[in-house]
Every structure is written in C-alpha cells, then in structure tokens.
Structure 1
C-alpha cells in the first residue's frame, strides 16, 4: 500500500542521520534497530505518526488528518524503546496497550479502514492489523 503522507514525511526527514519507517507490522524490528542506534550513538529517537491526507479538503484547510493506525503503530514501537519517554509518548503507548486486545476490530471500523475497504483494500486492512 502506498502512503502519500508517509512519503512526504520521509522526504522532509531525508536530512536526518537515520530514518526508520515503522508500523504495526514491523514495530518490533524498528524498535530493535532504534535501540541499537541509541546504544551505539547515544542519539535521541523521535517517533512521528505520519497520519493521512483528507481527500475532500476545503479552501484554507490543512490536508493532514490524524490516523489511528499510525498512532497505534507509534505506540507499539514506543513500548519497545529503551530510555525516557515524553508525556506525549506515554499517552501514545497507553493507547496502544489499551487497544491491543481488539486492535483488528478498531482498525477495521476506523475512518481510514472503512475508506480502504470501500476502495477494495479490505484484505490489506486485515493484513496490516
């Protein structure tokens, strides 16, 4: 699946020393590499849930919209990172912990899940959750 906003965020972040792209599917692998980088370099890690872009933006509105799957994916990664966490990261981790028992149902019924299913990507929604 493509991610227009993920691609835009990756382009903007191209000037950083290391860029890892994570989601629910690869949260453990991303956290493992990030923890290694923290240990080897002492660098700080920033986790950014990219979100999505609205299809029907009105004049003067921002195209960026929150994305539950990106937010929960960030929480899944953050729960496995070593070190201190900001209050924002702690809330994101809390959301992941609270929802992980029914994450498949939540992603199936969330706005982007319904939108993707309507466009014929139901199997992708199942796979990603």
Structure 2
C-alpha cells in the first residue's frame, strides 16, 4: 500500500471522511470501522437486500471471475441494470429490482464504485459497513457507542467516475455520509467530516427534491430509473446495519 502524507490522514480526529477507492485505501490503516456510502446505487441496494434477508457479496467491477465466484457461493449473479430490466425476476444494481425479488437468498453484486471500495477495505482488515440515505441514521446510532469507546471511524463517500476514470465527487454520497455523521458528536469529526455533515443539514428538509436535481439523480431518471432515485431518497426508512462479515453483507447482530 502506498505511503500517505501524514497531513492527509486527518489523524487528529477520531471520525474522518475521504473520497473514493484511493481515499479508502489511503485511510484504511487508520480506521477500525469504515462506512461506505454509494447512494445511487450500491449501498442502497445492499440496504434493501439485507432488509429482505438476502446475503450480499460485493465484488470488484470488471473482474471476469464474478460469475465463477457466484457459482462457488451458490449465489445469484446480479445483472447490469439495463439488462435486468427486460428479464422478469432478474436483479441488478437497481434497488427496486431487489425490493421485488423473489427466491433469492444470496447475491453477488459488483459495482464500479461502492462494491470495489468495500472489497479494498475488507482486504485491509477494516470492519466495513454499508450506509445509504435509507439506513444512515441506524448506522450512525450503531456506530456512536463504538466511537465513544475510542474506535476510529472512516466515512467513504464512493463518488462516481468521469469518462477518463478519474473520481467525480457527487452530492448524493456526500449527503449520505453526512446523514451518518449527524448521529456522531461534532467535536470528534475532522473538518472534512464536518463539511459532509453540514451538507446533509442543508439537504435533510427536502431530500427527494435535492436527490432528483443532482447530477446522479438526473442521470438515472433520464435512463428510466426514477423509481430507484425515489426509493434511495426515503430517509430513515430502514433500521438495518449491513456489516461485511466473511466476505458478505449481513445485518449486524
């Protein structure tokens, strides 16, 4: 793992916030618990699936071994969102598809951002939690006593990608991270984490309005997935806390 300039680790603060796979990799050694936020749509899909009792295996995007891995785990393989749309009963990164899924108990769910970041953090032996706007309050309340006891927490808004594959920070993931941070003591937050929390405070009163008007929401609605945006924006609609356990997300016990 590449060495990080100590000034970039937010080391003076128990609760930190950093973007994307590079940020996750850089700060993982300094975190006991890492909360990944990919609102549109990986962590929202995980929230919906785990709420329904489905075990979710994250997998790196573009890895050709995904189908083989799904077979080894006796799990269904999630399709591309646009492909699942025309196959009744198929599931994908669309959280709506998971809300209506039947007969699925185990699912391999690759994604270019959230799933890949979860894999990076898991390999770094950090406890990994999936948070969305739906379950952010529950995750924050689950995390708060651990932080109070001295645990170091890292919030990772996943972000999206520009055509050249560079990171595109996105509003919805910053809001989601802030929703978790709103449950934690302000004095323990790094400046980066405080900024996410402040962004959420501006968002909280009109979540669907904001979510449908940000770039990610506009993109999904234009592609015909507005129902996914609406489902993702339902604050405090889930009490589940998905924790990555032996390579799969299950509800915290």
**2:152 is the alignment partner of 1:44:** yes
1:33, CA displacement in angstroms?
2.1
Aligned residues: 123
Moved over 6 A (4+): none
> Is 1:94 the counterpart of 2:198 in the alignment?
yes
Are residue 104 (structure 1) and residue 213 (structure 2) matched? no
Cα deviation digits, residues 77-124 of structure 1 (max 9, x gap): 001023611111111111111121122111101111111012211011
Indicate the RMSD between aligned Cα atoms, in angstroms. 1.7
Structure with greater strand percent: 2
Q: TM-score if structure 2 supplies the norm length?
A: 0.45
Uncovered stretches (5+) of structure 2, i.e. residues with no partner: 1-40, 42-92, 94-110, 234-253
Cα distance between partner residues in 2 of 1:18 and 1:33:
13
TM-score normalised to the size of structure 1?
0.85
Which one of the candidate residues 63, 70, 76 is aligned to 2:173? Answer: 70
The 5 Å alignment of 1:21-60 reads 21-39=130-148, 42-54=150-162, 57=163
Deviations 1:1-46 (A, max 9, x none): 4342001111111123311111111101211221233345x21101
Structure 1: stretches of 5+ with no match in the other structure: none
Structure with greater helix percent: 1
